[in-house]
């Protein structure tokens, strides 16, 4: 403690020095220290606000097609056993390991030997179809050569809408058991109304009179509103002249 000394009448008096300025300096320094610690701990935040224009709203329109359109699933996975098993339609997708083996063909084309595919009908009617194709993947079950040509038919009436290839000029041939894909433009499927009423009849032959393996039989195309693929809901095997009818199990009755 610092004090000033003075003498009065022989008596020594010790008087304290006033410390208010010193206390004020200490308080200011303490506050400055707290601000520095807070800034170092929390950090400084700066914000810059500028004017921002609202984005331009763009609206489009699509056609509405009233009606009920029902179709089953064709790609199906079954994990009920704890392991995922592919239960998809064997005629819907190529190279998925799922196929159908037909009955035996003759060594030459015949009008009473064929395969027939009735396709699902999920499309709204009355819309133009562009670039429709019949996509067929098949092979011989043995070492012989298998060939095919086909017709586009109305499912409801059986009327022939178009023929593609012939017995003298097949659409495609495969020698051996390597599955091979063919895609054929089918201009006779000009509208969705036809696409929703579609049957494909495939005539075939096999050089050794053997069976064939079919991996895919679908129709693809597009409209102004969507691309689509149609899948078989009914398969008829008449390759050996005895009809066998094989429906897709998930098709709605």
Q: Which option is the CATH number for 90-247: 1.10.1660, 2.60.40, 2.60.120, 1.20.120?
A: 2.60.120
Decide: 253 and 247 in contact? Cβ < 8 Å: no
The pLDDT of residue 7 is 46
Q: What is the pTM of this model?
A: 0.75
Q: How far apart are CA 28 and CA 22, in angstroms?
A: 10
DSSP conformation class of 155: T
Tens of pLDDT, residues 87-126: 999 999 999 999 999 999 999 999 999 999 999 999 999 9
The pLDDT of residue 61 is 63
The pLDDT of residue 67 is 74
The pLDDT of residue 52 is 67
- In Å, what is the CA distance from 127 to each residue of 68, 124, 130, 185, 238? 16, 7, 10, 18, 33
Tens of pLDDT, residues 118-172: 999 999 999 999 999 999 999 999 999 999 999 999 999 999 999 999 999 999 9
DSSP helix/strand/coil, 152: strand
Is the predicted pLDDT of residue 196 greater than 50, yes or no? yes
Is the predicted pLDDT of residue 25 greater than 60, yes or no? no
Decide: 217 and 74 in contact? Cβ < 8 Å: no
The pLDDT of residue 64 is 67
Q: How far apart are CA 120 and CA 77, in angstroms?
A: 20
Q: How far apart are CA 220 and CA 189, in angstroms?
A: 10
Average pLDDT, the chain: 85
The pLDDT of residue 50 is 66
The pLDDT confidence band at residue 55, using thresholds 50, 70 and 90, is confident
Q: Which residues contact 186 (CB under 8 A, 6 or more apart)?
A: 132, 133, 134, 152, 162, 164, 219
Domain ranges in the chain with CATH number 2.60.120:
90-247
């Amino acid at each position: 403690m610092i004090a000033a000394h003075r003498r009065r009448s022989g008596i020594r008096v010790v008087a304290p020095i006033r410390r208010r300025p010193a206390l004020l300096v200490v308080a200011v320094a303490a506050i400055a220290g707290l601000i520095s610690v807070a800034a170092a701990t929390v950090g400084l935040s700066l914000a810059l606000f500028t004017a921002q224009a609202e984005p331009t709203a763009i609206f489009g329109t699509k056609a509405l097609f009233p009606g009920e359109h029902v179709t089953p699933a064709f790609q199906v996975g079954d994990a009920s056993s704890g392991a995922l098993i592919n239960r998809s339609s064997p005629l819907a997708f190529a190279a998925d390991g799922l196929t159908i083996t037909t009955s035996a063909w003759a060594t030459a084309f015949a009008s009473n030997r064929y395969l027939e595919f009735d396709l699902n009908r999920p499309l709204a009617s009355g819309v133009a179809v562009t670039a429709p194709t019949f996509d067929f993947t098949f092979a011989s079950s043995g070492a012989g050569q298998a060939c095919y040509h086909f017709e586009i038919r109305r499912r409801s009436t059986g009327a022939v809408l178009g023929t593609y290839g012939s017995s003298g000029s097949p659409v495609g041939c495969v020698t051996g058991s390597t599955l091979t894909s063919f895609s054929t433009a089918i201009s006779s499927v000009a509208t969705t109304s036809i696409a929703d009423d579609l049957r494909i009849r495939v005539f075939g032959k096999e050089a050794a009179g053997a069976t064939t393996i079919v991996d895919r039989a679908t129709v693809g195309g597009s409209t102004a509103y969507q691309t689509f693929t149609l899948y078989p809901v009914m398969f008829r095997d008449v390759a050996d002249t005895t009809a066998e009818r094989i429906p897709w199990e998930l098709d709605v009755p």
